[in-house]
Amino acid sequence: MILLCASCEKERSKDPLKAALSSENPLIKRVMDSLAQYELQVRYTQINHQKDSIVFTDFDFQVDKNNYFYPASTVKFPAAVAALEKINETDSLSVHTKFYIEGDSIETTFSKTISEIFAVSDNAANNRLIEFLGQDHLNERIQNKNIGPIRIAHRLSIPNADDVTTKPLVIYLNDSTTVSSKSIINTYPKPLALHKIEKGKGFYTDEVLQKGAFDFSLKNYYPVQAQHALLKRIIFPQAFTADKRFNLSEFQHELLLNHMHTLPKDLGYDATEFYDSYVKFLMFGDSTDPIPEYIKIYNKVGYAYGTLTDCAYIQDVKNNIDFMVTATILVNKNDVFNDNTYEYDEVGIPFLAQLGRELYNYELKRKR
């Protein structure tokens, strides 16, 4: 018995993610004690800076691209990256170009749109980028960088979200001259054939409870591997060959990084409603206190249908540590979807916050 425990301790020391998930902290333990219920997947990356090179060491827990989870707003990250790359390759456009969607009265810029995506996870901002890119073109740009699998099929939280034809953009060439883009006709998505693509025992449609599993086969698909791969390429493009990097200007890259870590209050949002950790689940999600200024979190979260996901690069400039985590968890105890009864605040966010703290504390002690 003693030998077995010693072996376990040795194994945990080799795998810091396993050690973090073995924590006796109740925020972690209640999830780990009911793993089948929570469909947890986690990828944690140690980062070692060696002279001019970056060395990644990945640790996985139950990461499986064949086990489906709904990515929710995490799909806004690839949309932002693909939009910036398309802008960079279009002479008449810049991040400051003003535009609106045909039939919409809101004028905005690409920079403002991307800032809203990361600061408060704005759905309308994401949908504007879908109209600009088209689903097929968005997927192609991400896949061309050897990132996948990915299938962005629909917009978020609007009627006709899965319309395959985009709306034209009305683009300002100057203060008085506009030009309209052409609609893009995209491929209608085929049903996904994945494990756990049907979930639960019931779901609501128009406030009527339907018996049976909820079918996600025509929804967006963006697994942990793809999310983590995109994050690595954006945070550390120098670690990848040119064919796997995105064609962003230095200015665009800095703009994107700045938007990814900027807090809502820095963009003028009400800090009482949009507190620092409003869309920063790892480490700080279960607190409304200010995030220390020396910690920057470059991330994109998603939450819908009971699924919480955070894909984050966490940097502590005071203690000179950094690491990456992508984690997803399903919190739907009653197994019914679309009833707005999910344990986000009670279980999911506290788990992600404590997971982030466990890994952060490990990184503080890790020898480099």
Q: pLDDT, tens digit, for every residue of 181-236? A: 999 999 999 999 999 999 999 999 999 999 999 999 999 999 999 999 999 999 99
In this prediction, residue 13 carries a pLDDT of 57
**Mean pLDDT over residues 298-308, rounded?**
98
CATH number, domain of 201, equals: 3.40.710.10
Per-residue pLDDT tens digits for 146-193: 999 999 999 999 999 999 999 999 999 998 899 999 999 999 999 999
Per-residue pLDDT tens digits for 335-362: 999 999 999 999 999 999 999 999 999 9
> To the nearest 10°, the Cα dihedral for 366, 355, 312, 229?
80
Domain count, the chain: 1
Q: Helices marked H in 177-333 — which ranges? A: 224-235, 250-261
pTM confidence score: 0.95
In this prediction, residue 51 carries a pLDDT of 85
**What integer best gives the mean pLDDT of the chain?**
95
Other C-beta atoms within 10 Å of 2: how many? 6
In this prediction, residue 1 carries a pLDDT of 29
Other C-beta atoms within 10 Å of 6: how many? 10
Q: Among residues 283, 275, 291, 163, which one has the least CA distance to residue 218?
A: 163
Domain that holds residue 331: 2-365
**Mean pLDDT over residues 118-146, rounded?**
98
In this prediction, residue 52 carries a pLDDT of 85
Whether 366 and 336 have beta carbons less than 8 Å apart is answered as no
Helix (H) or strand (E) holding 85: helix 76-88
